[in-house]
Structure 1
Amino acid sequence: MAGEPRDSGGLYAFIINGMLAMFPGSKGKSMLSAEVTVVKPSRRREERLPADIRARYGASGNPERALCRIIDVSKHGARLEVYCDLPLATSITLKLPNSEALGARVVWSKDFEAGCRFNEPLSDDELEFIFRKGNA
């Protein structure tokens, strides 16, 4: 919310969403209108690449039989579309087509989506392969 402007030696100061903003002015002769957008920083440690890959996973040491779709991926994790509930902290094995199985742990789950963190980060080559396959 904007506060009352204060004349500060030719500068007008406003408090906008808890931040100080200063603008030049000349004793009420000029008018200023501004729109401020607050962007929340991402909680992710790295950007995720979009993907659309059908995959399989197995939970708690079971074979990779359940179907899922990888929605996006980074070196350290992926967001999955799943067809059943995956409880937090569940250990899964994610099997991509023509790829080795990846160990991961579920870090969030909501409305048929789950985020998992890989036990070992993907190499640049593995990440590029997954990205190309998902955007082919």
Structure 2
Amino acid sequence: MTDDSENQRQSGRVAMRCELEFRKHGGSRYPVDIFDISPEGARISPPVRVEAGQQVWLKVPGMDAIHGRIAWMRDWQAGVEFDNPFHPAVFQLIVERLRGPSAS
């Protein structure tokens, strides 16, 4: 997949800087930095090499793991496309959890 996939988002992203739990298919769990998120995906800095199309999971505290696939990879940043886009209300809850209680 080309970097053009970065520009084909369906909705706007919310910029943030926080850490989630990350796991790729068949791999261990690692902390991962997240830079932005939308109902359809997120931009992360994976701690291990990933490839386009690879299955991954992101864990938001207090929620089930989010399953997706790597849509693009450039240097040490990657785009994750979620398997199931979030409803706006669920997405808002995810953003609030990632920002933490002090941002409310």
Q: State the TM bucket, normalised to the shorter chain.
A: 0.7 to 0.9
Runs of 5+ unmatched residues, structure 2: 1-6
Looking at structure 2, the residues matched to 125 and 69 of structure 1 have their Cα atoms a distance apart, in angstroms, of 23
Which has the higher relative contact order, 1 or 2, with Cα contacts under 8 A spaced 6 or more apart? 2
> Quick one: which amino acid aligns to residue 49 of structure 1?
V
How many residue pairs get aligned? The number is: 94
Deviations 1:11-54 (A, max 9, x none): xxxxxxxxxxxxxxxxxxxxxxxxxxxxxxx5322111112221
Instruction: Write out the 4+ residue segments of structure 1 that deviate beyond 3 Å after TM superposition.
Output: none
1:105 paired with 2:69, answer yes
Q: What are the Cα deviations for residues 78-123 of structure 1, in whole angstroms up to 9, with x where unaligned?
A: 1112222111111011111121101100010112111010011112
Which residue of structure 2 lines up, in the alignment, with residue 52 of structure 1?
A: 17
The match for 1:85 among 25, 42, 49 is 49
Secondary structure class of the residue paired with 1:130 = helix
Task: Supply the RMSD in Å over aligned alpha carbons.
Answer: 1.7
Change (3 A) 1:61 1:102: farther
**SS where residue 133 of structure 1 aligns?**
helix
Could you say if the C-alpha distance between residues 61 and 125 of structure 1 is closer, same or farther in structure 2, counting changes exceeding 3 Å?
farther
Range moving further from structure 2, 119-128 or 72-81: 119-128
* 2:31 alignment partner, one of 63, 67, 76: 67
Work out the percentage of aligned pairs sharing the same amino acid: 24
Contact 2:60 2:98 in 1 (8 A): no
TM-score (norm 1): 0.62
Q: Rg larger in 1 or in 2?
A: 1
- State yes or no: 1:122 paired with 2:79: no
